[in-house]
Amino acid sequence: MGVINTILGLGASVIMPIVIFLLGVVFRMKVKNALRAGLTVGIGFTGISLAISLVSDNLGGLVKAMQANWGLALDITDVGWPAASGIAFGSGTFVLASIVTFLIVNVICLAIKITHTLNVDIFNYWHFILIGTVSYFVTGNFILGIVVGTLFMMVNTILGERQEQVITDFAGEQMAGLTFSTQGFPLQLLFARGVDWVIDKIPGLNKISFNLGNLPSSISFFGEPMILGFLLGGIMSFLAGYKWDAALVVAVGLSAAMFLLPRMVSIMMEGLAPLTDAARDFMNTRFPGRKFNIAMDYCMLLGDRDVITMGIITVPIVLGLAIILPGNRFLPFTDLTALPYWMIGVVIGTKRNSFRALIAAVLTLCIGLWIATDLAPLITQMATGVGFKFEAGTTISGFCVGQEWVGYIIHKIVSFFSGMF
């Protein structure tokens, strides 16, 4: 037991390579390939930690200055989905137990035909692990945390499976056999379809239809992570009352962070990709001749023009909502470049009608802000627990956390009932 505690004390950058290596061996990877995959994930995690320090160092004081200048109550810093994934994957034995449980439950559900989908999107298991860890923190019950994460994974997998045809109709036959269960996407797609259905019933509104996907390509330049980071850093510095030299330091620092974070995550994914392939091959040998869907990362749908356009347009919208939305204390920043991801379900669900998509987007963003605010104290505690360092007194969250709709609902239900016993 002492050896295990010593290993856990080494931090996530050491624990994750061990976890990935062990899973690789289970899925019959060659030992050298499993070792390479584990080390690659560890390197990516270390890079994420370094990049996150750029965000916290530059944004912590900036947010406080903006609050003082403008009287804003937005005291929760957005550290972004790369940091959130690092927090999730940094929870030691909980990560290994969660991943193994997810895979076993998924295989059992396949065997008894509750689902026909194998979720091999192992990197994005972090969404399920994150919410499971939140429940673990709240209840103090390790097993209950695993159960919450597993329920989140299976509900998302089944919801994604039920909407396979909707995806195929949108993206073409090349997507047949693929489903997408990442984060809040399955429920957000269902929500957007509900908004579309309601608008269909409203005279006058049901006649409005236009498409914003024809914006000039030059506008998309401002959606690039480094450019968006630089511009927003400069604008926020101006609003905070910084002098031009201090504003430049912040702008370049935030630009660097937003440029580096996706690349560090891509290194992690580079290590996880062979593990995903090994898991798929492992299943093919156990279900010979049977047709089943494969759940993948919904980033495969991100190249759509309407999705990208909606992602860019919603940047100023969400910043405005953050200021005026009652009960919100969360200031979106790092995750602004991920807005196109959360617009995928919106665009698909409203059948490319930009008027309806904007309505669904505003509702989706409001829900995300409230959830990110509500979970911020827990996310801050979890980040501290896995070794992330940031300015004292800082409260952190991620807009990505606000998109974990299914997991948030399950967590709240379980926490409510667990508090009664």
By three-state DSSP, how is residue 295 classified? strand
Q: Please give the Cα distance from 345 to 343 (Å, whole number).
A: 6
pLDDT for res 8 = 47
CA 293, 299, 302, 303 torsion-angle sign: negative
Name the residue type at position 299. C
Structure-block tokens of residue 184: 């809040």
Distance between CA atoms of residues 390 and 205, nearest Å: 47
Please give the Cα distance from 63 to 73 (Å, whole number): 10
- The secondary element (H helix, E strand) that includes residue 395 is strand 395-397
State the pTM of this model: 0.73
Count of alpha carbons within 13 angstroms of residue 198, beta-carbon side: 10
Give the per-residue pLDDT at 5: 46
pLDDT value at residue 288: 74
Query: Residue written as tokens 């299976």?
Result: 154
The low-confidence residues of the chain, meaning pLDDT below 70, are 1-13, 15, 49, 52-53, 55-56, 59-60, 63-64, 67, 71-72, 91, 174-175, 212-223, 261, 265, 276, 280, 283, 291, 299-300, 302-303, 312, 386, 388-392, 419-421
pLDDT at 371: 93
Sequence spans of domains, the chain: 2-418
Tell me the three state secondary structure of residue 388.
coil
